[in-house]
């Protein structure tokens, strides 16, 4: 996180206008992306199912981006004991789990229409995204099961960092596993590079997801800061 | 006395106290394996094909059962406080705890795993590779499991939470371990997955003690 925003008061002043601004940008980009999406012609192989790509692929990218944010915030929280970084990590986790679930569900729908199967175990990406989803679930479960917030913060940060180290290894091992099994013949081997008519809506949607995540993340961090302030007031009022 | 030896002797002694130590894990392992033919149907050809995979799945599950006792018991009776106050760094204590966990749970399971695999119908020639893979994989399971056990200290849902935290981390060892046996059976290159498995286990042994110690210190603070 930017050092200038490490001050909670300054962060609240910044996010007060940044969160709605990012939200408006996200809605605008979403509208442009969907308009470009509807103008894109049906794919010669996949037909109209290609439209799922514009929802699915950015979600899959974001599932990794959010985990990187979660890991980075956890690192700052663990090393510098910064309360705002901890709030940021906690706020990112449910968003990451949601976007990963979206990637899994839309991927499954896409797979059903193009490969003819909801789920193909031979594909390394499917399995590694599923493991990523489990990492998010583990983080949320650990966070929910520790009552004492002061203790929950380092524990969840350690878990997020362990997950961050393991993600590339999981991805590598699953890819290796697939090469052993040779199961997938349904996939085109990295077909021709994508034409611009598909690339433009895809990148617009990716930016829309990014802005949307930024807006929701800031709102959730603000909510976390407010919750803590309310807690402090309640304790003070109780004397 | 050397703190390494002292903690190791204590851990090994404690693991036998109250509960039969490794025997419980082995009993669980056998009971779980006996369900596999019942679930998959008695077809010997299919069972023989699935035997290495079943053995690995059951090994990963059986590795979980004694994890809860790894830190929780010492945390509750105050022994962990004494270990933390002692001359040895907590990282060393965590390392030794994981070694003891391996010696009392995963290593006995690794000795039984090839036998159960053969009992399900796999050929005897797979047994040496299965033993080597189970020994190396179990080493990784002990260290990764220790991180989950230390992180869930003080939580209200010990066992199930540890399983949820740890099982996703078991993905690479399960892939490489079962893959090595499968490759050996198919006369393919089985050394690469076995070496990758050993590399993963050694990396876990090098890094996990720091995570375990940080988590334990956090729970004690």
User: How high is the pLDDT of residue A107?
Assistant: 87
Task: Collect all residues of chain B within an 8 Å Cβ-Cβ radius of residue A142.
Answer: 151-152, 155, 161, 165
Does B207 have pLDDT greater than 70? yes
Q: How many CB atoms sit inside 10 A of residue A83's CB?
A: 16
Q: What is the pLDDT of residue A180?
A: 61
pLDDT digits (tens, 9 = 90+) for A149-162: 888 889 999 999 99
Cβ atoms of residues A77 and A86 within 8 Å: yes
Q: How far is A42 from chain B (nearest CA, A)?
A: 38
> What pLDDT was estimated at residue A148?
81
Distance from CA of A138 to the nearest CA of B (A): 5
Q: How many helices (H) and strands (E) does chain A have?
A: 6, 0
**B chain contacts of residue A148, beta-carbon cutoff 8 Å:** 154
Q: What is the pTM of this model?
A: 0.88
Residues of chain B with pLDDT > 70: what percent? Answer: 98
* Residue A140 in contact with partner chain B when CB distance is under 8 A: no
Of the candidates B164, B175, B188, which has its C-beta nearest A176's C-beta? B175
Distance CA A128, CA A171 (A): 6
Contact criterion met (CB below 8 Å) for B46 and B16? no
Query: Are A180 and B169 inside 8 Å of each other by CB?
Result: no
Judged against a pLDDT cut of 60, whether residue B129 lies above it is answered with yes
Please identify which residue in the block is written with the tokens 């976007």: A99
Q: How far apart are CA B106 and CA B100, in angstroms?
A: 10
What are the chain A neighbours of B157 within 8 Å (beta carbons)? Answer: 141, 145
Computed over every residue of chain B, the mean pLDDT equals 88
Mean pLDDT of B181-189: 87
Q: What are A52-65's pLDDT values in tens digits?
A: 888 888 998 899 99
Query: Shortest CB distance from A138 goes to which of B164, B172, B176?
Result: B164
Task: Extract the tokens encoding A145.
Answer: 């099961």
State the Cα–Cα distance between residues B169 and B63, nearest whole angstrom: 13
Indicate yes or no: CB of A141 within 8 angstroms of CB of B161. Answer: yes
Give the 3-state secondary structure percentages of chain B, helix then strand then coil, rounded to 5: 85, 0, 15
A83 has a pLDDT exceeding 70: yes
Angstrom distance (rounded) from CA A93 to CA A86: 11
Tokens of A192: 């021709």
Q: Which residues in chain A have their CB less than 8 angstroms from residue B151's CB?
A: 142, 155, 158-159
Mean pLDDT of A18-42: 89
Of B151, B161, B171, the CB nearest to A170: B171
A169 and B196 in contact by Cβ < 8 A?
A: no
């Amino acid at each position: 996180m930017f050092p200038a925003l490490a001050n909670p008061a300054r962060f609240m002043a910044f996010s007060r206008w940044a969160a709605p601004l990012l939200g408006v940008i996200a809605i605008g980009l979403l509208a442009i992306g969907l308009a470009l999406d509807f103008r894109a012609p049906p794919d010669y192989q996949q037909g109209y199912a290609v439209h799922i790509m514009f929802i699915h692929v950015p979600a899959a990218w974001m599932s990794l981006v959010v985990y990187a944010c979660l890991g980075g915030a956890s690192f700052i929280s663990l090393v510098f004991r910064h309360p705002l970084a901890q709030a940021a990590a906690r706020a990112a986790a449910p968003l990451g789990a949601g976007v990963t679930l979206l990637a899994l569900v839309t991927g499954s729908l896409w797979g059903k229409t193009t490969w003819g199967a909801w789920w193909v175990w031979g594909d390394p990406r499917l399995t590694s995204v599923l493991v990523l989803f489990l990492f998010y679930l583990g983080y949320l479960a650990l966070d929910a099961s520790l009552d004492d917030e002061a203790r929950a913060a380092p524990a969840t940060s350690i878990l997020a960092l362990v997950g961050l180290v393991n993600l590339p290894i999981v991805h590598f091992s699953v890819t290796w596993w697939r090469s052993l099994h040779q199961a997938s013949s349904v996939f085109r081997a990295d077909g021709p590079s994508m034409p611009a008519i598909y690339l433009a809506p895809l990148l617009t949607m990716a930016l829309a997801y990014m802005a949307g995540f930024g807006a929701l993340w800031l709102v959730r961090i603000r909510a976390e800061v407010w919750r803590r302030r309310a807690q402090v007031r309640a304790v003070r009022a109780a004397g | 006395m050397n703190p390494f030896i002292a903690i190791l002797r204590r851990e090994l002694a404690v693991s036998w106290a109250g509960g039969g130590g490794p025997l419980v894990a082995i009993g669980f392992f056998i009971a779980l394996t006996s369900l596999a033919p019942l679930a998959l149907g008695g077809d010997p050809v299919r069972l023989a094909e699935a035997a290495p995979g079943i053995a690995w799945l059951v090994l990963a599950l059986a590795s979980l059962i004694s994890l809860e006792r790894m830190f929780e018991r010492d945390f509750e009776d105050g022994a962990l406080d004494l270990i933390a106050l002692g001359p040895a760094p907590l990282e060393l204590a965590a390392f030794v705890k994981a070694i003891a966990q391996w010696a009392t749970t995963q290593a006995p399971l690794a000795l039984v795993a090839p036998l159960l695999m053969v009992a399900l119908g796999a050929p005897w020639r797979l047994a040496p590779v299965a033993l080597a893979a189970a020994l190396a994989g179990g080493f990784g399971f002990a260290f990764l499991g220790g991180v989950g056990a230390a992180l869930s200290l003080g939580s209200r849902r010990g066992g199930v939470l540890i399983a949820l935290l740890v099982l996703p981390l078991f993905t690479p060892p399960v892939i490489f371990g079962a893959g090595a046996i499968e490759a050996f059976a198919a006369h393919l290159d089985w050394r690469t997955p076995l070496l990758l498995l050993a590399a993963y286990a050694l990396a876990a042994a090098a890094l996990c003690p720091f995570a375990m110690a940080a988590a334990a210190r956090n729970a004690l603070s």
